């Protein structure tokens, strides 16, 4: 369903009226297309806290954005023209005490207003040092800073924090956050380890020669994920329930993939998937999910158990079975779908919230073991309000609240979840593990 309010605020009368009434004024987001694969403009690289030792320059150069270390003369207050940076990267990994935090303010205060519409601000931080509570305090302070800036920056711009120790290991993450692919990801804190990417990687078709399985892929977000992974070169197996076989085959045929229909809640689902893919699997996307909303006092046991079985138990069983059978090849990726309902809670969704919080718990517990024992990373995306047929059926006022209660003041699109999933599935994202990344436009509640 079209967001008429977003369209209205793009008109002169709409801007005037909403400004006078103090209403949200969402900016149309610039998303990835083949014709416009990168942001328009240059990247401004700043430093706070002294030299960090990170070799950032070559990594930032490979984002495709011309890079400078000096703000353009007269850029303060500008929002258009050649002086407006498309993105700002602030290296704050060297910030170790409260005095050095002043350098964060000094670096961004003069330039943040000049960042172009739909631009990006990425702050780089260091992991918290358990031996130095001063360093840990100020590095944690960066999280509050980033989340707050994200809620005030406006004009479709996003702000995120990346904790890293090695620039090359963070290349896929920086490429994602500094591109139109991350249009609906803001206010996030992403930890990146130290595993560098394969130097022979094809960044245009990173999943070429790889097989990806997407559950619940016959429609909605799952279909968008399948499309995006196919765009990146993967052979996609479109998995859905037998009742959706016609749609699953249609999607698979369009993408040059294959269709597999089965009940993902069946005890032997993992074994059947492994049997259908004897050569193994590189990417496993747990997208299938259902809702059966009721307040707890009105929720029968069947509504509780069906949601927990599809959204959580099937994820656990299938993952365990595929790992035990060695069906996921070394270097594989598991990406599960959580939800901000599982992180912040949602009235009428105790079953759904429990299932999606469980997915986050699975990711955080399994990730280190799966990497150590199988060479496989485990992460999750947590969508917020995404424009789908399901949300189109939500009553008007609740739907409008869902759209506006985030820093970007609009709902996301299925492709926003798909792009984030594709980044986590990327062969160069091996250093990203155990992360739950919200795709919610930085929800104003609980996120």
Active site residues: 352
Assign 3-class secondary structure to the chain: CCCHHHHHHCCHHHHHHHHHHCCCCCCCCCCCCCCCCCCCCCEEEEECCCCCCCCHHHHHHCCCCCEECCCCCCCCCCCCCCCCCCEEEEECCCCCCHHHHHHHHHHHCCCHHHCCCCCEEEEEECCCCCCCHHHHHHHHHHHHHHHHHHHHCCCCCEEEEEECCCCHHHHHHHHHHCCHHHCCCCCCEEECCCCCCCCCCCCCCCCCCCEEEEECCCCHHHHHHHHHHHHCCCEEEEEECHHHHHHHHHHHHHHCCEEEECCCCCCCHHHHHHHHCCCCEEEEEECCCCCCCECHHHCCHHHHHHHHHHHHHHHHHHHHHHHHCCCEEEEEEEEEECCHHHHHCCCCEHHHHHHHHHHHHHHHHHHHHHHHHHCCEEEEEEECCECCHHHHCCCHHHHHHHHHCECCCCCECHHHHHHHHHHHHCHHHCCCCCCEEEECCCECCCC
């Amino acid at each position: 369903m079209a967001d008429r309010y977003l369209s209205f605020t793009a008109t002169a009368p709409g801007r005037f009226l909403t400004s006078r009434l103090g209403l949200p004024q969402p900016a149309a987001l610039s998303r990835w297309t083949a014709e416009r694969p990168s942001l328009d403009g240059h990247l401004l690289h700043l430093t706070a806290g002294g030299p960090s030792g990170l070799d950032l320059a070559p990594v930032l150069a490979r984002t495709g954005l011309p890079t400078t270390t000096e703000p353009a003369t007269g850029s303060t207050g500008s929002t258009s023209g050649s002086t407006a940076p498309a993105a700002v990267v602030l290296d704050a990994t060297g910030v170790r005490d409260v005095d050095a935090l002043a350098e964060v303010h000094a670096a961004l205060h003069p330039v943040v207003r000049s960042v172009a519409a739909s631009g990006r601000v990425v702050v780089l931080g260091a992991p918290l040092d358990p031996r130095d509570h001063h360093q840990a305090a100020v590095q944690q302070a960066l999280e509050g800073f980033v989340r707050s800036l994200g809620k005030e920056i406006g004009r479709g711009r996003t702000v995120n924090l990346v904790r890293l120790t090695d620039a090359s290991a963070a290349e896929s993450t920086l490429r994602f956050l500094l591109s139109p692919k991350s249009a609906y990801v803001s206010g996030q804190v992403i930890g990146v380890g130290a595993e560098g990417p394969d130097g022979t990687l094809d960044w245009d078709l990173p999943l070429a020669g790889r097989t990806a399985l997407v559950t619940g892929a016959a429609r909605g977000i799952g279909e968008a994920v399948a499309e995006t992974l196919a765009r990146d070169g993967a052979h996609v197996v479109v998995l859905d329930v037998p009742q959706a076989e016609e749609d699953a085959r249609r999607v698979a045929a369009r993408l040059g993939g294959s269709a597999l229909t089965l009940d993902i809640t069946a005890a032997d689902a993992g074994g059947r998937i492994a049997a259908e893919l004897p050569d193994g699997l590189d990417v496993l996307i747990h997208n299938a999910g259902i809702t059966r909303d009721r307040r707890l006092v009105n929720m029968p046991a069947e509504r509780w158990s069906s949601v927990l079985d599809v959204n959580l138990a099937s994820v656990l069983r299938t993952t365990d079975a595929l790992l035990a059978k060695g069906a996921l090849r070394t270097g594989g990726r598991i990406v599960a779908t959580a939800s901000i309902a599982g992180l912040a809670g949602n009235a009428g969704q105790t079953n759904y919230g429990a299932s999606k919080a469980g997915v986050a718990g699975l990711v955080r517990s399994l990730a280190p073991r799966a990497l150590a024992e199988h060479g496989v990373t485990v992460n999750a995306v947590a969508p917020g309000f995404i424009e789908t047929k399901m949300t189109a059926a939500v009553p008007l006022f609740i739907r409008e609240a869902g759209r506006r209660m985030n820093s970007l003041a609009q709902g996301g699109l299925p492709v926003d979840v798909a792009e984030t999933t594709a980044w986590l599935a990327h062969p160069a994202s091996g250093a990203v593990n155990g992360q739950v990344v919200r795709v919610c436009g930085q929800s104003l509640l609980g996120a």
